[in-house]
Chain A
Amino acid sequence: MISLRNLEKFYQQGPDRFYVLRRIDLDIKEGDFIAVMGPSGAGKSTLLHVLGMHDTAWTGEYRFLEHDIHKLDRKKRFEIYKKHFGFVFQSYHLLDDLTVAENLDVPLSYRDIRKPERQAMVADILDRFQIVGKKDLFPSQLSGGQQQLVGVARAIIANPKVILADEPTGNLHSSQGLEIMEMFKKLNQQGATIVMVTHSETNASYAHRIVRIVDGWIS
């Protein structure tokens, strides 16, 4: 599903290059659940953002399904991202001014889906995540775990093939983290491909495979 070949990312510092990712070769199959681990500054999050096409300044080959991402312009990459990817952030990044239901509606509103259909999808996801009672609350009225639950719900509401999660439990208590990981497991069982950056061995144990990165190299 995803194939990276000789992918590199560096920052030019005077005459020198500072490499963040070095000769990355990685294959991810549909339905995989991969944990990316490594020390701070190793390049884990950078790799995740390259996969999520947020980062465009890299070299090498990136193939996703039948698309050669490295050959596409920014607009086409963005279309592919929008169609197939969902993103879960460490610090949730819910929009403060919107209610839970409205936050869930945001990704749908960017995908040319008619309002009645969107409402049905939001209702469905609220039900699936058992947060119907919180739909009119604002993020500031939720606990961290509840916020991240909404963040995960928001990431998958548009039915992405791939979920990218950047330390999704980093800001949560262990019990809340467990709840989120159980949710990822369930989603993976339902067919979602998951790539998750984590420092936690416990979280990594939910994955089928662990990819370790040190100083930009896959070890």
Chain B
Amino acid sequence: MIEDLRNALRRLLNKPGAAAAAIVALAVGIGFSTSTYSVADVLLLRPLPIPEIDRVFMLGAMAESDPLSFHSVTPYDFAYYARSPRSVEALAASRGWAANITGAGDPVPVEGARVTSSFFEVMRIQPLFGRVFLQQEDSPGNDRSIVLSYNLWQRQFGASPEILGRNVELSGRVFQVVGVMPKGFTFPQPSDFWVPLALSSAEWADSGSFYLRVCGRLQPGATLDQARAEFKVLAGDLARQFPVSHGRLNARLELIRLRVSGDFTPQYTRMTVAAALFLLLIACLNVAGVQFSRVLSRTREMAVRGALGAPRLRLLRQVVAESILVAFAGAALGLLVASWSLDILKSSMPPEVERFVPGWQRLGLNPLVVFYTALTAIAAGIVSGLGPALWLSRTPILENLHESGRSSTGTAARHRLRNTLVAGEIVVALVLLCGAALMVKGFRAIGRPPVANDPARILTLHVTLPQNRYPDHLAVSVFQSRLLDSLSRAPGVQSAAITSNLPYSESANSSFVTFEGRPSLPDGRPKDLTQVQNISGSFFATLGIPLLQGRAFSGAEARDGQRVAIVTAAFVKQYFPGETPLGRRFQLGDGVWWTITGVAGDILHNFTDRSSEPLVYLPYTQSGWGSFDAALLTSGDPYALLPQVRHAIRDIDATQSLSLVRSFRKLIDDSTTGIGYVASILSVLAGVALFLAILGVYSLMAGAVRERTREIGIRLALGARRSHILRMVFREGLLLAAVGIPVGLASSLGVASLLRRLLFGVTSLDPLAFVAMPLALTCALLAAGLVPARRATRTDPLIALRHE
């Protein structure tokens, strides 16, 4: 084999032109395949540097009506779950905490987690230095330890080696640093720090508040399915104990590596890996075409070798060896392409989004990725060498000796194989083009603002009030009213609003709803669900949401007065079809009656929403909590208002900071970053695929013209017009398009229907994708054939007849 490789190397060096084209094609294919594999490596395979990551899972509550839901659980649920499962080694709970580092100059917003002491037992990750929490530290009164993330240690404390034992004030509470975690570990995402989750006995008994995120580690040898079965039984127990709140909930267990980035990331990652493999396949088909030409030009040599005793297998090995060598050269160059494309990927990721993508910081080439590249190169070499090798194996090589090395046999088979290769390229390229068109159109659709006002003129920010300083709704609403008043009066602000969650901010609250005069389910459980959002009356004017009926909140709604609500058109459509909703009353599980005083227009709250969900708006003065967003409609650049906004907050509470300050446009863009990445990656892959397909058709037709030079010369000598020749040459390209495009279209429709769950803002039968793309590809293929076809028409009959 070494000898085969050495000979192959020599041949490649002797005729570097064709080899270079093949190497570049493979470099592109292998490069993009490697970079998408690198992304898959950090997002799917090893998103967190946790030992034995496949034993670690996340546990959530799943609504029976929505098998994809993954809600937090109550403290009672966690305590109940933690008792018994035999398949689980350790179970831990966590709760996010957006706090401010206070006590040293301006408050600095940070996000971390309160975790049970078992958290680090589940993660099994050792601190860079110091220690993690002791068992007794997650009890009230003992919860003063803090573990810092590597990033916070670097960013806020200048990587001080004397950090251990230092006090850190978080939103007015003092913690002592006991450890620093290694670089790359941030879970739950994003985590700047970890403090103990110290709940009182009363809090542990709470079965109505779903706010704990749970993760666990399986016993050695136990499977996830065993654990699922055990937790299903426990969830059944809870449903029997609490039929109202838990009656329709089940336990959902997923491996942490597949769950940590959300539901869609793993699927989108698989989709881009598949797309990159498609591109690699096109590159292989392209290289197979090049190799095929090389094999053809070596028919004489193959015949001589056969006559000298070369076994057929040896000849095949020689062809494949050459392909593998080309593939390895392509892989070496492909690593550069991968490194370059990964750099672009990393640098284009907004920091606001990167914090939520586990493993992203580790994105890059590593030994595993290089190993994958080597495997890919071998596979690509075999795939691209196999076609020519198979053709060779069916050709009676020795008989070619009769013809002084010129093959007169197998012409039809040769053309068939070459045509099949190019038709294959057209099919795969069309699938990629249609997929990319669907994603790009969908991405552009979901990027359109869900509200009427220009999102670029709306400044949004997030405020988290610490519970120790703002213990009840009254304290929170007083802060909110003062802030609203101050912001509304700021110069340049047309309208200011506060809300529990902005559209596209990926947070939502939902609640069961019971209507006055309508029965619940026989067992007393409520049967209807709605989303709930707390707002100020100016919310609709600030964002540009129409009020269809009734009136907006005045801001004077008192908590002890009549509770009022504005519902959306989707709510009315679902629960009051054909009825007047104004004046109707409902409860949201807390026993309080809310009266409908208005109906607002629908908006989509997430790009993943297929349609508007029923939604209830409640006045912030009557309902809400200390974690909220503010929105300011400005007359100019929203960021110019930032100093005034900071000043307004500081005037009310000097310990408060702002976080997630950005325009509404940026918020929408950030929330769709992931799908934007997928659309961009697919577009690049599809563009390269198109280029390779054009190259394939060009090579094919150029080769065909070259082979038929004599025939063309004879035809011209016999009186054929240039148009005859043009038609004759074009016919071959058109035939390929006529075969490849319908097959590609059918394959694309199949693939789109498989991926319809991942398509947003566009249907899987979008005409742009399935009409425009085939047309564009056909035009591109015709253009590719133009050069060789024109060359054929310029053939000089006299020269052509001497050609052979």
Tell me if A95 and B305 are in contact (CB < 8 A). yes
- The majority secondary structure among interface residues of chain A is loop
- Identify the closest chain B residue to A96 (Cβ): B301
9-residue interface stretch from A107-115, A173-181, A208-216: A107-115
Interface centre among B304, B310, B405 (most CB of A within 10 A): B304
Tell me if A97 and B10 are in contact (CB < 8 A). yes
B-contact bits for A89-108, CB 8 A (1 contact / 0 none):
11101011110000000110
Q: Sort chain B's interface into a size bin.
A: 20 to 34
Note all chain A residues with C-beta closer than 8 A to B3.
109
- Identify the closest chain A residue to B304 (Cβ): A93
Note all chain A residues with C-beta closer than 8 A to B300.
93
- How far is it, in angstroms, between the C-alpha of A82 and the C-alpha of B7 when the chains are bound? 22
Note all chain A residues with C-beta closer than 8 A to B314.
110
- Identify the closest chain B residue to A158 (Cβ): B309
Note all chain B residues with C-beta closer than 8 A to A158.
309
- Identify the closest chain B residue to A160 (Cβ): B309
Known: A97-B10, A97-B14. A107 touches B308 (CB 8 A): yes
Is A81 interfacial (CB-CB < 8 Å)?
Answer: yes
- How far is it, in angstroms, between the C-alpha of A46 and the C-alpha of B11 when the chains are bound? 32
Tell me if B304 and A54 are in contact (CB < 8 A). no
9-residue interface stretch from B394-402, B455-463, B546-554: B394-402
Q: Which of A45, A55, A97, A110 contacts B308 (CB 8 A)?
A: A110
Q: Which of A89, A106, A107, A109 contacts B401 (CB 8 A)?
A: A89
- How far is it, in angstroms, between the C-alpha of A128 and the C-alpha of B238 when the chains are bound? 95
Note all chain A residues with C-beta closer than 8 A to B776.
none
Is B768 interfacial (CB-CB < 8 Å)?
Answer: no
Tell me if A54 and B309 are in contact (CB < 8 A). no
Q: Sort chain A's interface into a size bin.
A: 20 to 34
Is A70 interfacial (CB-CB < 8 Å)?
Answer: no
Note all chain A residues with C-beta closer than 8 A to B399.
49, 54-55
Is B779 interfacial (CB-CB < 8 Å)?
Answer: no
- How far is it, in angstroms, between the C-alpha of A95 and the C-alpha of B311 when the chains are bound? 17
Q: Closest Cβ of chain B: how far from A74's Cβ, in Å? A: 9
Known: A95-B301, A109-B3. A49 touches B402 (CB 8 A): yes
- The majority secondary structure among interface residues of chain B is helix
Note all chain A residues with C-beta closer than 8 A to B408.
none
Is B404 interfacial (CB-CB < 8 Å)?
Answer: yes
Is B445 interfacial (CB-CB < 8 Å)?
Answer: no
Tell me if A111 and B404 are in contact (CB < 8 A). no
Note all chain B residues with C-beta closer than 8 A to A45.
402
- Identify the closest chain B residue to A110 (Cβ): B309
Tell me if B309 and A81 are in contact (CB < 8 A). yes
Q: Closest Cβ of chain B: how far from A13's Cβ, in Å? A: 16
Q: Which of B10, B308, B310 contacts A87 (CB 8 A)?
A: B308
Is B307 interfacial (CB-CB < 8 Å)?
Answer: yes
Within 8 A of B (CB), among A48-91: 49, 52, 54-55, 78, 81-82, 87, 89-91
- Identify the closest chain A residue to B401 (Cβ): A54
Tell me if A95 and B304 are in contact (CB < 8 A). yes
Tell me if A49 and B305 are in contact (CB < 8 A). no
Note all chain B residues with C-beta closer than 8 A to A54.
307, 398-399, 401
- How far is it, in angstroms, between the C-alpha of A46 and the C-alpha of B403 when the chains are bound? 11
Note all chain B residues with C-beta closer than 8 A to A95.
301, 304-305
Note all chain B residues with C-beta closer than 8 A to A97.
7, 10-11, 14
Note all chain B residues with C-beta closer than 8 A to A87.
307-308
Note all chain B residues with C-beta closer than 8 A to A89.
304, 307, 401
B-contact bits for A113-125, CB 8 A (1 contact / 0 none):
0000000000000
Note all chain A residues with C-beta closer than 8 A to B303.
93
Tell me if A110 and B10 are in contact (CB < 8 A). no
Interface centre among A87, A93, A96, A158 (most CB of B within 10 A): A93
Tell me if A106 and B305 are in contact (CB < 8 A). yes
- How far is it, in angstroms, between the C-alpha of A78 and the C-alpha of B401 when the chains are bound? 15
11 contacts between A and B (CB under 8 A): A49-B398, A55-B402, A82-B309, A89-B307, A93-B300, A96-B301, A97-B14, A98-B7, A106-B310, A110-B308, A111-B309
A49-B398, A106-B305 given. 5 additional CB < 8 A pairs?
A: A46-B402, A55-B402, A93-B303, A95-B304, A97-B10
Interface residues of A (CB under 8 A from B): 45-46, 49, 52, 54-55, 78, 81-82, 87, 89-91, 93, 95-98, 106-107, 109-111, 154, 158
**Complex A-B, nearest 4 residue pairs according to Cβ-Cβ distance, in ascending order:** A54-B398, A82-B309, A110-B309, A93-B304
